[in-house]
């Protein structure tokens, strides 16, 4: 009778379905009495041994069929974010992901039961699978969870958090963006190496940050770790260290390039990647590349009054110094109406006139007589970066003049 392996090859030609027969090995070496008359492979990738020699043990047939079935299932790609966090990429097809409770073979062999009494739980619910190995069935975005393995007495041996990552080319499900902005919105107050990134959650999903990676593109291999709180991250390479923290709202992070020199030319971009997950163990990652000069956005300037016709403003206290090396450009707008009911009079009102000035020190400005509100904002004078938010100052001189006029008239009438 022809060998099983030969029939498998012919079945592949008949079905035109690519198969992996390496897992079969030389079956004849183990079951020399076995002979097969026909093998058929269906289009749903299932194998059927139709006619088998009577000498063939039925138990062996089951094992071989199992091997054949496993060999045609797709093995998903995966990556380890942290020692106990595994990200498995899925594309909608059926797949399997193996887990091991005890990784060390020596540790497994030291056990009296050789691992046979180990039992597993998924999200706290006991499963029927036993032993050191566990197989996760992956279908669509299902299969994620917290997998724990236990001794016979229930004590914990190990755990693995499995996160499912769908095809990144499809529509994202956890964060949202507008047409003008990316998923991550990043900015820096100055050139000291600090920056922050924020995002907007999808209204129907509750998520949290599960991993952060920050590096310069020149850094090469970067290792990231998190503290026990799960809120503070450190990413280290041979060149530099980044530290990042998640704020209490969970909507943004703040990071620091600890080796950044504000006076040197910034040759390499920063690469930030944030992994976020849902309660159903679905994970997505979002990345952004930038130079600090492209995202720098000064804080609001401080405006004060000198006299009835003059105001002054100063550089934001958080801006890099000396100001001669990090100069700002200022934009001044004068408004004829105060617009008390406006959320921001600088954006909701029509300006009398808008001016742009350059200064490396405290600035003073003479206000037009008809102006009731003055607005000032700033940006880096040497880079095409973002403007700061508007600062505004309401002038009360007209009201004061009217009060003084009434007082003078009152005194005259008394005389």
Q: How far is the C-alpha of 81 from the C-alpha of 265, rounded, in Å?
A: 32
Q: What is the C-alpha separation between 14 and 19, in angstroms, rounded?
A: 12
For residue 42, pLDDT over 90 is answered with no
Read off the pLDDT of residues 58-71 as tens digits, 9 standing for 90 and up: 444 444 444 444 44
Q: What percent of the chain has pLDDT over 90?
A: 42
The model's confidence at residue 163, banded by pLDDT at 50, 70 and 90, is very high
**Residues 91-111: pLDDT tens digits?**
878 889 999 999 888 888 888
pLDDT of 149 higher than 50: yes
Any idea which of 114-118, 123-127, 272-276 has the lowest mean pLDDT? 114-118
Per-residue pLDDT, averaged over 11-34, amounts to 40
Listed residue (379, 311, 371, 328) closest to 346, CA to CA: 371
- Whether 108 contacts 85, CB under 8 Å: no
More confident site: 7 or 87: 87
Looking at residue 318, its pLDDT comes to 94
List, in order, residues 6 or more apart from 343 with CB less than 8 Å away: none
pLDDT surpasses 80 at 51: no
Q: What percent of the chain has pLDDT over 70?
A: 73
Average pLDDT over residues 172-186: 85
Q: What is the DSSP letter of 77?
A: P
| Spatial separation of the C-alpha atoms in residues 33 and 191, rounded to whole Å | 78
Closest C-alpha to 366, from 299, 308, 291, 309: 309
Q: Is the pLDDT of residue 54 over 50?
A: no
User: What is the rounded average pLDDT of the residues 169-184?
Assistant: 81
What is the tens place of the pLDDT at every residue in 261-305? 999 989 899 999 999 999 999 999 999 999 999 999 999 998 888
> What's the pLDDT at 380?
94
Residue 329 has pLDDT above 60, yes or no: yes
Determine which of 162-176, 294-308, 332-346 has the lowest per-residue pLDDT on average.
332-346
> Exposed, middle or buried by CB within 10 Å (0-12, 13-18, 19+), for 272?
buried
Of residues 230, 251, 249, 81, the one with CA closest to residue 174: 251
Does 395 score more than 80 pLDDT? no
pLDDT for 307 equals 80
Highest mean pLDDT among 121-135, 156-170, 173-187, 342-356: 121-135
The pLDDT of residue 107: 85
Between 126-130, 308-312, 313-317, the lowest mean confidence (pLDDT) is in 308-312
Residue 410 has pLDDT above 70, yes or no: no
Instruction: Tell me the whole-structure pTM to 2 decimals.
Output: 0.72
């Amino acid at each position: 009778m022809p060998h099983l392996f030969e029939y498998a090859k012919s079945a592949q030609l008949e079905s035109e379905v690519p198969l992996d027969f390496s897992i079969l090995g030389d079956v004849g070496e183990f079951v020399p009495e076995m002979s097969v008359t026909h093998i058929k492979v269906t289009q749903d990738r299932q194998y059927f041994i139709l006619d088998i020699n009577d000498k063939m043990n039925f138990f062996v047939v089951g094992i071989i069929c199992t091997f054949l079935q496993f060999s045609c299932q797709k093995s998903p790609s995966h990556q380890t974010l942290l020692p106990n966090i595994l990200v498995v990429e899925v594309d909608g097809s059926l797949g399997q992901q193996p887990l091991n409770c005890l990784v060390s073979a020596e540790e497994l062999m030291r056990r009296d039961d050789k691992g046979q009494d180990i039992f597993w739980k998924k999200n706290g619910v006991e499963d029927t699978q036993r032993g050191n190995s566990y197989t996760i069935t992956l279908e669509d975005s299902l299969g994620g969870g917290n997998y724990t393995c236990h001794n016979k007495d229930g004590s914990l041996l190990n755990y693995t958090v499995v996160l499912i990552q769908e095809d990144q080319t499809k529509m994202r499900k956890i964060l949202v963006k507008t047409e003008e902005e990316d998923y991550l919105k990043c900015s820096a107050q100055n050139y000291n190496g600090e920056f922050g990134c924020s995002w907007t959650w999808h209204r129907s999903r509750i998520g949290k940050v599960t991993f952060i990676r920050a590096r310069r593109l020149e850094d090469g291999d970067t290792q990231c770790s998190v503290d026990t709180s799960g809120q503070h991250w450190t990413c280290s390479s041979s060149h530099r260290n980044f530290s990042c923290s998640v704020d209490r709202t969970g909507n943004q992070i703040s990071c620091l390039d600890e080796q950044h020199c504000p006076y040197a030319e910034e040759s390499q971009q920063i690469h930030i990647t944030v992994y976020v997950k849902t309660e159903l163990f679905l994970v997505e990652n979002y990345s952004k590349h930038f130079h600090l000069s492209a995202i720098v956005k000064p804080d609001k300037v401080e405006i004060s009054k000198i006299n009835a016709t003059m105001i002054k403003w100063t550089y934001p206290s958080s801006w890099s110094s000396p100001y001669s090396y990090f100069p700002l450009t200022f934009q001044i707008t004068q408004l004829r109406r105060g617009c008390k009911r406006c959320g921001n009079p600088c954006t909701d009102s029509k300006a009398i006139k808008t001016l742009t000035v350059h200064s490396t020190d405290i600035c003073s400005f003479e206000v037009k007589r008809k102006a009731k509100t003055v607005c000032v904002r700033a940006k880096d004078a040497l880079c095409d970066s973002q403007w700061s938010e508007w600062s505004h100052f309401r002038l009360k001189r007209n009201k004061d003049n009217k009060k003084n006029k009434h007082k003078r008239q009152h005194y005259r009438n008394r005389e």
